[in-house]
Structure 1
Amino acid sequence: MSESAARPRGGTATSPGVLPGPLDERTPRSLRPVGPRRLLSELIEFVYRLAGSTLATPRVAVGVSLVGLLLIMLVGILSPNFNTLPPNFTGDPANLKPIVLPLSGHLWELPWFVSFPLTYLAIVLQCLGLAGLLWANSRGWRPNPRHLFLAACAIVAVMVNITPVGSSDAASYAAYGHVANRGFDPYTNGPDILGPQNPYTRSVGPMWTRTPSVYGPIATWVQQLAAWLGGLSPGSTVHFLMIFNGAVFLGVGYFLLRTADDPVRASLMWVANPVLIQQLVAGGHLDTYAAAAVVVGVQIARGGTQGWRYLAAGLAVGIACAFKVNSGLVGAGLAWALAMRRDWWNTARLAVGGVGSVVFFYSFYGLHAVKQLLTASSLVATPSPWRAFQLALQGIFALFGEGDLGQRIGAVATSIGWPILMIAVAVFIYRRFSPDQPAAVTVPFALCFAWIVVAPWSLPWYAALAWVILALLPRNPMTRWLTLATVFLALMHSSGGGPAPWANS
């Protein structure tokens, strides 16, 4: 996590904007920074101390990582996640039963006040374990990447048979697939179209039962396949989705093992990354599919200057967008990198491949398939600074009896302001890399990371795109910040399961 810093463009190690080193204990308090800068400096000092501790030894790092993953497995096995799979309604309130996957629900049940702390402890241990693994690697530890891959296969094989932990998305995926199989349009109908007593409707979190799908056409087809295999059982459908997702996660790991410049680092950053294993595999998120298509596109684009490469790279990014539209940031990053060297022909080829494939896939549903995306783009997550900005603006206008006007102005200012700020942050991140790093990798990463940091609605599994691209680069200071950002989001947006609060009503 505290890997060797790259020299910034056009500056020295002490240029403005470069993070300071650890504080010297002999520095007088009067000379130490104050406020947020002091907190940041003390955080960096703490990280440096950890980097020199036994945590940076391979055995300890691997042990801490495994404990973090085992705790999440324990939560998934012992605590049905009501935020992911609420009880199935069979017509009789006395028959409320939790929907669980094969390895869950056979032992006792953890109360929520135990499962939630266990989840947060697991996330912290996964962060520390990942940091230790990367520190050990920077000190010369070179594990066999194939062994890392095989170990990940064993962990993933268990994870896909455990009830998802961390979000309600897996149940929504299953419901959208069943909605489509029943002949309804998932882009205009929410799961409630199936009826209030349908097990798929009951399996979706109450907040999302009326929400149409925001996922791309290929994502819908994957969901339909799983729902077809699962039949009338949402639990079975979620199980198939978990298996598909775990296989794709391992497929990305194998691709990186075979194509990355440093297979060991790439394996530690993806397939052996305990933070990602929880967020993507244990959570069962579609972001894994988008990351798979994106990393293929980036590797194709950086592999040469032939025109066909950029056409193929655009096609790969278009496929990623047909899973989740935020993958378009990678296409924008590749186009930005080409524009910087005034390679307009290859920029055009990239656009033809990307835009053409997106139009092709969305043509199966029509323009209304993107309508819900526009609605979802106005959402603001509670921990986001944009939410505080909107509330403050609304409060100021409320003093003059115009609270609704303040709310509307805040929403408009947010929708205009965050893309501008994202570009500014992306430029700052890009300039933290040394000039010898390929822009076809660093620019897409900068945009993806900036989006995670700045976007009003940001969740930990959204970081998959940034992680898979960063795995292609040598050691750099962005690794520690991506880790901290991902873990912070995980702590803010993670449900640890527990009995459904309405189960006994």
Structure 2
Amino acid sequence: MTGVAARLRALGADGLPGAGKAALAFLAAGIGLLLAAGLLGTSAAAPPLPGGPGWLPPYDLGTGPSAGLVTGLLLGSALAGAVGLGLAMLALRGGWAPDPRRLTIAGAVAAAAAVLVPPMGSADHLVYAAYGRLTATGGNPYLDTAADLARSGDPVGRAVEAPWQDTPSVYGPVATAEQWLAAKIGGTSAHTTVLVLTLIGAAAFVLTGLLLQRAVRTREARARVALLWSLNPLLLFVGVNAGHIDAFAVALAVGALVAVRRSPVLAGVLVGLACATKITLGLFVLALAWGLRHRRRDLAAMLGTGLAVGVLAYLPVYAAGGGDAFAQMRENSKLVSLAMPLRLAVHPLESALGADTARNLIGLVGYVTLALVAWLLAPVVMRAAARGPLRDGVSADAAGAAALLALAWLLTAPYSLPWYDVAAWAPFVLVAASGADGLLLGRTTVLVCAYVPGRVVPLPHAVDSLAHTLRASVGPYAGIALLLGALWLGLRARRAPVAA
């Protein structure tokens, strides 16, 4: 183990030109394979987008590719991207500092290209469009469902696929407002509505990259942001192309992170909006509070403003009888993903305790292990944050706490999906390199591979068997390995002396 680690360090320190060039080649390959999978058209990864008009993106060749081909392309994209990111991390550690401006421009071009091909990896974007359509036509997405739209003959409702036809929204009112805007523009066209949603997500992703660039002060740090965020094939897939709400929500949270030292009130507004988009971004509230723990007046201003924004955002929801949004969230909190380590405990606990008690216990175990992993990794991540070349107005404590809490949550949550990882990558690129980078890269790679091709449709036996193996066997045990890695890193850091 020691010899391997020494060789990896040597690669980062002495083989920089080769490592850096190889990193860029693998990142380009990952992005190219992703775009190729989308360009082939409707597939086991990409649901149809009815409604047109055909001259608007996304575009595809309509070749009707096999499930095996698309799965292979997406797995190849994820693995090539992971190798490229790993090499980039090694090269950056050794002092490689490519031009961040060129990388950022390339990342913006890649984000635009990811919108030009159909969304892949799930059918979630279609139910987002249905929630917007419900709101735009006088319905309530917290009470009504896509099935209600479909029964009325609405083409956007009919486009929604399993398993979301009968599921009301669990997203916050800011997410609903975004979906309403897209639906107002798209009308009865699922194609146009989804295009607007993906354009907003891509713009948020690029804006987040620019905010992260402005938060650091050295060329090397800006190169780290550009490589690990803007040109990250894994994030371009799950955060941009797939059309999930996470990129939009995280842009607000990052704005709060960057603003908190200079304007706690603005930070409160932004993090309140982020939580009113997706409630799990409450982790950023804890991180901001940690960054302001020695400035009580600013802490009170941030918390008070954030709470006020959240309350004001949710008031119309309750006025319209949408209080069931929280009931749906509580029901979802009992879910356990196939690819998460705690999935291995579901069957034995349900057999012994019954379904409800078992799910409640698993949820409690998730919170306890989150706290434990955060405690273990605190020296690793917070020391990296203290070394990070942040500008004077950016709180290293807040950035480190956001990275720490988001990673601990991803590793321990009973229910987690690959696009949730966007919330961790954003603060992680602000802190200095550490062993925790590898944990995050491993987690995202495993989850992306576990959730392709993505649609809930019949698959050929070989593809279905591979997908189930990756999700139900590789995923949980890889998650356990990552938790053991976190344990090793944390204990090693706690035994190591702190540099003066």
Deviation at 1:475, TM superposition (A): 1.8
What are the Cα deviations for residues 251-295 of structure 1, in whole angstroms up to 9, with x where unaligned? 111222223232222222211222211221111121111211111
The aligned counterpart of 1:354 is 306
Pairs within 5 Å for 1:132-143: 132-143=87-98
**CA displacement 1:400-440 (0-9 Å, x = unmatched):** xxxxx422221120122211221121121212135435322
| 2:200 partner letter | F
The answer as to whether partners of 1:83 and 1:497 remain within 8 angstroms in 2 is yes
Q: Which residue of 2 aligns with 1:495?
A: 453
Amino acid corresponding to residue 494 of structure 1 in structure 2: V
Between the two proteins, what is the percent identity of the paired residues? Answer: 28
Q: Structure 1 residues 408, 48: closer, same or farther in 2, change over 3 A? A: farther
The Cα offsets for residues 204-246 of structure 1, whole Å up to 9 and x where unpaired, read as: 2211111011111111111111111111110111111111111
Structural mapping, 1:113-124, within 5 Å: 113-124=68-79
In the alignment, which residue of structure 2 is the partner of 1:295?
A: 254
Distance 1:100 1:128, change over 3 A: farther
- Assess if the C-alpha contact under 8 Å between 2:123 and 2:455 holds in 1: no
Shift of 1:447: 1.1
What amino acid sits opposite 1:172 in the alignment? V
Q: Name the counterpart of 2:83.
A: 128
Flag the structure with larger Rg.
Answer: 1
- Correspondence 1:408 to 2:356: yes
Greater mean alpha carbon deviation, residues 103-112 or residues 61-70: 103-112
Matched, 1:246 2:206: no
TM-score for the superposition, normalised by structure 1: 0.81
- Equivalent AA in structure 2 for residue 444 of structure 1: A
Residues 7-406 of structure 1: matches in 2 within 5 Å?
Answer: 22-24=1-3, 57-82=19-44, 85-86=47-48, 102-196=57-151, 197-261=153-217, 262-301=221-260, 303=261, 309-339=263-293, 341=294, 343-366=295-318, 367-395=323-351, 397=352, 405-406=353-354
Q: Please state how far the C-alpha of 1:47 moved relative to its aligned partner.
A: 6.3
Alpha-carbon displacement from aligned partner over 1:349-369 (angstroms, at most 9, x marks no partner): 222022111111111211333
Deviation for aligned residue 1:470: 1.2
How many residue pairs get aligned? The number is: 441
Matches of 1:300 and 1:249, distance apart in 2:
18
Change (3 A) 1:45 1:171: farther
Considering Cα pairs closer than 8 Å and 6+ residues apart, tell me whether 1 or 2 has the greater RCO: 1
Q: How far, CA to CA, are the matches of 1:312 and 1:357 in structure 2? A: 11
User: Over residues 441-463 of structure 1, what are the superposed CA-to-partner deviations in whole Å (9 max), with x where a residue is unaligned?
Assistant: 21122111111111111111111
Partner of 2:466: none
Kept in 2: contact 1:216–1:323 (CA 8 A): yes
For 1:81-122, what per-residue CA distance to the aligned partner results, in whole angstroms no more than 9, with x for missing partners? Answer: 45652475x9xxxxxx9x997353434221011111221111
Give the partner amino acid of 1:142. A
CA RMSD of aligned residues (A): 2.8
Match of 1:470 in 2: 428
- Partner Cα distance (1:330, 1:193) in 2: 35
Structure with greater helix share of residues: 2
Asked if 2 retains the 8 angstrom alpha-carbon contact of 1:460 and 1:490, the reply is yes
| Distance (Å, rounded) in 2 between the aligned partners of 1:46 and 1:202 | 56
Match of 2:367 among 383, 408, 419: 419
1:164 partner amino acid: P
CA distance in 1, matches of 2:349, 2:55: 44
Partners of 1:263 and 1:290 lie apart in 2 by 22
Matched residue SS, 1:444 = helix
Structure 1: gaps of 5 or more residues? 1-21, 25-41, 91-96, 398-404
> What amino acid maps onto 1:192 in structure 2?
A
CA distance in 1, matches of 2:149, 2:297: 49
Q: Provide the secondary structure at the position in 2 that maps to 1:270.
A: helix
Q: Counterparts of 2:247 and 2:123 in 1: how far apart (Å)? A: 16
The worse-fitting range, judged by mean Cα deviation, of 155-164 and 256-265 is 256-265
Structure 2's unaligned 5+ residue stretches are: 388-395, 461-500
- Structure 1 residue identity aligned to 2:421: A
Residue 179 of structure 1: how far off its partner (Å): 1.0
Change (3 A) 1:326 1:434: closer
Measure how far apart 1:50 and its partner are. 7.3
Residues 230/49 of structure 1: CA separation in 2 closer, same or farther (3 Å cut): farther
